[in-house]
Amino acid sequence: MNNSYIFEKPIGGLIGLTDFTDRWQITLDSHNKKQYRDTILNLLNYLDPDVIKKCGNKKCDEFNIPHGSIIINMKITDKDLEINAPFLSIPDKKVNALLRQLAEINFSVLFLTQIVLEEERLYFRIKVPLQLCEPYKLYDILYEICINADHYDDLFIEKFEAQRIYTPKFIRYGEKESKSFYDSFLVHIKESIDCLEYFREKRWFDIGVESGMISMMKIDYIFSPQGFLRTEIEKAMNDSYAKIPPAEKVENQLKFFKDFSTITFEKFSESIYKTEFLISVRRHASIPVIKKQLENYYYNAEKDIAAKGYLSAVIFLLYDIYNLYYRYLIPKNIEETLNQGLKNSSGKDWKTAADELFKAMSKVMNTQ
């Protein structure tokens, strides 16, 4: 293992945004001025500059916004903001088991909204007085609805035979394009297995665990998988944080990637698509948040480069970058800077890779 990890640009283009920091400040300013209706509209504009025009009425007081397999219905009255998101229809069988699960979710998972049952249909609902429509709270309300709807819809359909109320609009890639993605996917899987086996043989289990996580986050970044693949990656990532010996984690990661290596083209293609969404699973991150996220491994890598520990420096820097991509939406110019470092380091010897990645990371850390 003499060369660094290969880089590939994401198949759907850059995930970063251009000017969301300014749009967020506008949202905060409107709330500080007690312009509560404008706060709601500015928040929607912050999430998606096209959503008001595409999903709102002429008065801009009612919105029907698609997100995955739900529609988020929002209504602004003189006093309140009402949010009602049709979720699933309950089945004829297994009703009690489903309702027990819903009660658990309402009491232990949801903190701002609730799932309610009405005429054999489930809805996410909340009513908020306008003066309490603080931007951070509004964002968290919509995030809670969207992310939990995405998480539980397939689970309830498979486990309890629930049915969708709204059919999501999937944009599929062509067969030739999908085949190219699949071939590339298998290349990244092979690289992941080779790296983990190398670190296992060396008995460098701690660095092996981070290598496995780099590969998971890299695959998530490049292919933006949905459905089955996304769920499996999330589970494997969570397992990598478990309080078990690193050697056991490496074995678990190897099994994960070897299982992924047997996924058929048809199964892969089922999880590779685009869909309409309002809120990403990734949180928005400003420059100060990004720097805070990167600083620990950045300074560790700096020490390793000074001591000529180039391989470990590369692991530190790659983990930092892909972990940032996995958890956050960042400004597009920051993503472009980091991707240039990833491109320049792709497949290079450890020293060259460490130098290129550190150079890109330094530009970000020095951004004002």
pLDDT exceeds cutoff 70 at 238: yes
In the structure encoding, which two tokens stand for residue 6, read together? 């290969």
Domain 34-164 carries which CATH code?
3.30.1460.10
**Confidence (pLDDT) at 275:** 84
Task: Give me the residues paired with residue 65 across strands.
Answer: 72
Let me know how long the chain is.
Answer: 368
End-to-end CA distance of the chain: give it in Å, rounded: 37
C-alpha of 238 from chain center? 14
- The packing angle between helices 175-202 and 246-260, to 10°, is 150
Which residues of the chain are in CATH 3.30.1460.10 domains?
A: 34-164
- The answer to whether 105 touches 112, Cβ cutoff 8 Å, is no
pLDDT exceeds cutoff 80 at 277: yes
Q: What is the mean pLDDT of residues 79-102?
A: 92
Q: 101 exposed, middle or buried (CB, 10 Å; 0-12, 13-18, 19+)?
A: middle
Classify residue 130 by its DSSP letter. G
Find which of 139-153, 185-199, 225-239 is predicted with most confidence, using mean pLDDT.
185-199
Distance between CA atoms of 42 and 134, rounded to whole angstroms?
12
Sign of the C-alpha dihedral computed for residues 176, 181, 185 and 191 taken in this order: positive
**Confidence (pLDDT) at 300:** 95
| Span 149-158, pLDDT tens digits | 988 988 898 8
- The answer to whether 27 touches 142, Cβ cutoff 8 Å, is no
Q: Tell me which of 217 and 90 has the higher pLDDT.
A: 217
| Span 29-62, pLDDT tens digits | 999 999 999 999 999 999 888 999 999 999 999 9
Distance between CA atoms of 285 and 76, rounded to whole angstroms?
28
Distance between CA atoms of 216 and 257, rounded to whole angstroms?
9
What does the mean pLDDT of the chain come to?
Answer: 94
| Span 181-214, pLDDT tens digits | 999 999 999 999 999 999 999 999 999 999 999 9
Q: Which long-range contacts (CB under 8 A, 24 or more apart) does 231-237 make?
A: 231/154, 232/256, 232/260, 237/213, 237/326
Per-residue pLDDT band at 114 (split at 50, 70, 90): very high
**Confidence (pLDDT) at 8:** 96
DSSP codes of every residue in 203-241: T-HHHHHHHHHHHHHHHHHHH---HHHHHHHHHHHHHHT
Q: Rounded to 5 degrees, what angle do the CA atoms 317, 319, 321 make?
A: 70
- The answer to whether 292 touches 333, Cβ cutoff 8 Å, is no
> What residue type is 154 in one-letter code?
D
| Span 288-309, pLDDT tens digits | 999 999 999 999 999 999 999 9
Q: 59 exposed, middle or buried (CB, 10 Å; 0-12, 13-18, 19+)?
A: exposed
Name residues whose C-beta falls within 8 Å of residue 273's C-beta, 6 or more positions apart in sequence: 170, 171, 172, 173, 226
* Of 68, 43, 40, 44, residue with least CA distance to 54: 44
Classify residue 180 by its DSSP letter. H
Backbone angles phi, psi at 173, to 5 degrees: -80, 155
**Confidence (pLDDT) at 285:** 87
3-state SS class at 121 = strand
pLDDT exceeds cutoff 80 at 19: no
C-alpha of 230 from chain center? 9
Name residues whose C-beta falls within 8 Å of residue 191's C-beta, 6 or more positions apart in sequence: 5, 6, 215
Q: What is the mean pLDDT of residues 126-140?
A: 96
pLDDT exceeds cutoff 70 at 287: yes
